[in-house]
Structure formats: structure tokens, C-alpha cells
Structure 1
Amino acid sequence: MLSKSILKSLFNLVCSLFVLFNITNSYGQHTTYGQFWNEIQFNQSISKKWSTEIDLGTTHSSTETSSNLFEKTIQRSVRGWVHHYFSPRWKLSAFTAYYSNKDVPEIGQFESPEWRFALQGIYYFHKTGYTLSTRSRAEFRHMRNQDGDYENVFRYRQQIKYIQPINSKVLREGVIYGVASDEIYLKSGTKVTGESFFDRNRFNIGAGYLLTDNIQIELTYANEYLPRNQGNQIMNAASLNISFNNLLRNIKKKIVDNIHNKHQEED
């Protein structure tokens, strides 16, 4: 019962924020889109210092003629990570990803397959009762433009993020937490993504809940501002992320434990 009421409250909060910002932005001289982002993460620890991760993502969007968040599926992605926990404060990562971009407003609403490679570092300011972190990421994007040619785009991202557990001092099973972040994007100028140096700003706020120590749900509202040559754009997005830690290992352990317990009962 606790988890259902929590998830319902989180959903109502994000929807309220989404409607508020959508109404506010609709009066500006911008093109505003409503979107729904969904990502499922599978994390697997290898040792105390190393882990891997696979992310599966989907983006749905409204259009200029329809306000339905699910009017079009504009992007699907798969991303593979390697993480190295260099110290208690530093986490270093790298990923390779493939993005199937179709009808994406920010790049001109044409099909643009993309390979993406990135290096990333996160520095944690560990504090009692909350966590503050800053993330730096360098992305190398190989994208197809409207003429069918591939272009290389370099993008730098800098984020600051705040996490506040609500019903505990640490993140563990049964804990609700609030999360807020802001991130700026800077990029090289190309035909496929536009010539502007400033790519966008993304503000994110919401909450999460740890169903178990290994399963986590996070529901947030994201607001993106994108300056573009054809006219500035604003994205209002509801974002749902689900994370599984050591899923296959935990399933295997549960099966082995069940078999062991069954044998004990038979004996």
C-alpha cells in the first residue's frame, strides 16, 4: 500500500509541474513541445571498483498540431556503459550508444541515425543527510544530416545535482527521495544540430522511491530550453527511469536458494 500511494503522489506532482510549465511557456515566442522520456537501466557490478550498465530508452513527443505526449515515437536508444569507482568521491565512466532519431523537433524533424561515444566524470560532495554532485561529460556524436551525409558533433555537458532522502538519512529500501538538477550543453556548430555554440539548458526536478536495495523508480519533470536558428524551442517532459542492480545475479541467487530450500524440506 505504501508504494502505491507514493507512486501515485509522485505521478500527480510531476503531472502538475508539467501542466504548469506548459501553460506558462505557451505564451512565449517559442515553439513548445510536450514529451515523455522513458529509460530502463540494468547495472551489474564486476568488482568493488568496476561495473557495467545497459540503458534502453524511448522518447515520445507531441507535435505542432497535436498536444498528445504520445503522438509520435521520435527516438529509441541503447547505451552500454563501463564505470570505474576511482575513489569515494570520483566515478569515471565511458559509453557507446546508438540512437534511432526519427522526427526529432530539435534537429529539424527528419530521420538522423546517430552513434554516440562519451567520457564522463562525477565528483560527489558527500554530506550528512543529502548528496551533492557535479558531472562533466564530453560527447562525440556521429550523425546523419538532412542531405544524407554524416557529420561529427562535439558536445560538452556540465551538470549539478542534489539528492535529498526524505524518510531516512541514507538511500536504502523503502526510502523516498527528492532530486533536482540543472545542466548546460555546449556544442560545435554543424548543419545537423545548428551553428549555435550554446546547445541547451535542462532543469530537472522530481522524486524517486527504492522498492528494494536493487530496484529504483524515479519520476521527474524536465524543462529544456533550446536556442535554434529556425526559432527557439522549449521541451516540457515527464521522465520515468527504472533501475535494476545485479538483476541476473539476484534472479540466479533466488533460484538457487529456492532449490536449496526445497531439498532441505524433502530431507
Structure 2
Amino acid sequence: MSSKFTHNISLKKNTLILVIFLITSISYAQTTTYNQFWNEFQFNRTINEKWSAELNLGAAYSSTESSSNIFQQNIQRSARIWGHYYLSPRWKLSSFVAYNFNKDVPEIGQFKSPEVRFALQGIYYFHKTGYTLSTRMRMELRHMRNEEGAYDNVLRYRQQVKYLKPINSKILREGVVYAIASDELFFKSGTKVTGLSFFDRNRLNIGAGYLFTDDIQAELTYANEYLPRDGGNQIVNAASLTIIFNNFFENLKKKLSHKHEEVNED
């Protein structure tokens, strides 16, 4: 009996210690929420049937711990150049080089952290009647400056699943509204500048797009990010606006040339 009694006391003691540990962990695992606005301009250019190029120009704004204003700080500006290769109707292979000027980005810290980023990417499309489902695989090398002024190399893998469905048509064309939903998991190597955790974040996107013409479209989405960090977890709620131009400079050149010809005829 005494042995059983001692065992029960020990079990209750260990359970109490575990409960106290969990409560303490929850108390100190603070979660900070930020509200942000992301915007990006995408310029796509068709080179031939197999190749295309893309230029992205973006900016991000954020609230702070002391202000809920979504535009309180301009935390990032970025430029990115892509090359796309269409291996088949289902496979699209891509690569990019980018420069990000990070400043006061909440996940990094309150300091300037210029970054050069390289990536290899593959997208596989499941073409279905009435909608498109795709999965994206991306490996990134981030060369970024830490708080001490030295540069760290961060490897990051991203896996996304995306759903796209035209609302008022069976295909994407001028005047069509379409729904977008995606979820993406991020995994990274551990460094001082981004933290030591292997799991980087989860990003959920939901929203809609509209094609003003076959070559100009806009997407407005809500993004929710969960970021586990050493100094406390973070949640980001972001409104994201993307404006997409297809063959913009080529179309602009054609219009200017056409106007010039009309002037000469007059």
C-alpha cells in the first residue's frame, strides 16, 4: 500500500509540475499582432512560346506595437526580376533575383537589413473544369545583413497550394472576376537575423481578382501569417493589392506608334 501511495503522490507531484510549467510557458509566450499593407506591381512580357520575363516592384507598410496605423512605417521596398520557362501545359519553371530593402521589419527587428535573394521555383497545375488548382515549390537563398552588420545566408523552402476560380465566366478574360485562395508553409535554416526555429511561418491568402482588359488585372486579398519567433510569436493581418500588366511596354509602344502614324496622316 505504501508503495502504491508513494507512486500516486509522485504522479500527482509530476502532474502539478507539468501544469505549472505549461501555465508559465503560456504566460511568457507572448503573441504580438501587426496590421500591414502590401502592394506590388507586376510587369510580364512574353518572349516566345516557351519563355517569358517578369519584373516586380513592391512595398510593404506596417503598424507598430505603439500604433495601430497600417501605414505607420514603410518597412520594405523590393525589386525582383524573373525568368519563366513553360516546360509543359502543367509545369512552369522559374528563377528570380531580387533586392529587398528591409527597415524595421517586425519579424527581423528594428534595424536596416538589406537583402539579396535568389530562388528556384516550380509550379504544377491541375487544370480542372471551372477552376485551377496548383502547387508551388520554391527554394530561396536569402543573403541579408544582421544587426551586427555582418551578412547571414538563410535557406528557405516554401510549399504552396492555390485555388483559382472564375466567377462570371468559365475562362479568364476581360471583365471577369475570379476568386483566389491559397495556403503556404515556410521552412528555413536558423540564423541570428531570422531566428533559430526551423518552421518559419504559415501564410493564408483569400481574395479576388478582376481583369480590366486581357492585359491588365488587379488582385485584392487578405493575408494572415503566423510566425513563431524566439522572442515571442507574431501574427500578421495584411491587406494585399497587386496590379498586373501583361506586355505593358510592348502595348504602350504600339499605341504610341499608332498615334504617331495618325498624326503624320493628318
Q: 2:46 — aligned with what?
A: 45
Equivalent AA in structure 1 for residue 213 of structure 2: T
Q: 1:226 — aligned with what?
A: 227
SS across alignment from 2:259: helix
Q: 2:145 — aligned with what?
A: 144
Q: 1:171 — aligned with what?
A: 172
Q: 2:31 — aligned with what?
A: 30
SS across alignment from 1:203: strand
How far has the Cα of 1:252 moved from its partner? 1.4
Q: 1:16 — aligned with what?
A: none
Q: 2:154 — aligned with what?
A: 153
Identity of aligned residues (%): 69
How far has the Cα of 1:66 moved from its partner? 0.2
SS across alignment from 1:105: coil
Task: Give the Cα–Cα distance (whole angstroms) in 2 for the partners of residues 64 and 252 of structure 1.
Answer: 47
Q: 1:103 — aligned with what?
A: 104
Describe how 1:1-267 pairs up with structure 2 within 5 A: 29-262=30-263, 266=266
SS across alignment from 1:199: strand
Task: Give the Cα–Cα distance (whole angstroms) in 2 for the partners of residues 128 and 256 of structure 1.
Answer: 40
Gap runs ≥5 in structure 1: 1-27
SS across alignment from 2:94: strand
Equivalent AA in structure 2 for residue 202 of structure 1: R
What whole-Å deviation, never above 9, does each CA across 1:105-136 have from its counterpart, x for those lacking one?
Answer: 00122211100000000000001110100000
Task: Give the Cα–Cα distance (whole angstroms) in 2 for the partners of residues 262 and 72 of structure 1.
Answer: 47
SS across alignment from 1:48: coil
How far has the Cα of 1:259 moved from its partner? 3.6
Moved more, 248-257 or 159-168: 248-257
TM-score for the superposition, normalised by structure 2:
0.87
Q: 2:17 — aligned with what?
A: none
Gap runs ≥5 in structure 2: 1-28
Task: Give the Cα–Cα distance (whole angstroms) in 1 for the partners of residues 58 and 263 of structure 2.
Answer: 39
What whole-Å deviation, never above 9, does each CA across 1:21-49 have from its counterpart, x for those lacking one?
Answer: xxxxxxx9410000000000011111111
TM-score for the superposition, normalised by structure 1:
0.87
What whole-Å deviation, never above 9, does each CA across 1:80-120 have from its counterpart, x for those lacking one?
Answer: 00000111001000000000000010012221110000000
Q: 2:22 — aligned with what?
A: none
SS across alignment from 1:172: coil
Task: Give the Cα–Cα distance (whole angstroms) in 1 for the partners of residues 259 and 124 of structure 2.
Answer: 41
How far has the Cα of 1:203 moved from its partner? 0.1
Task: Give the Cα–Cα distance (whole angstroms) in 2 for the partners of residues 89 and 57 of structure 1.
Answer: 28
Task: Give the Cα–Cα distance (whole angstroms) in 2 for the partners of residues 188 and 73 of structure 1.
Answer: 27
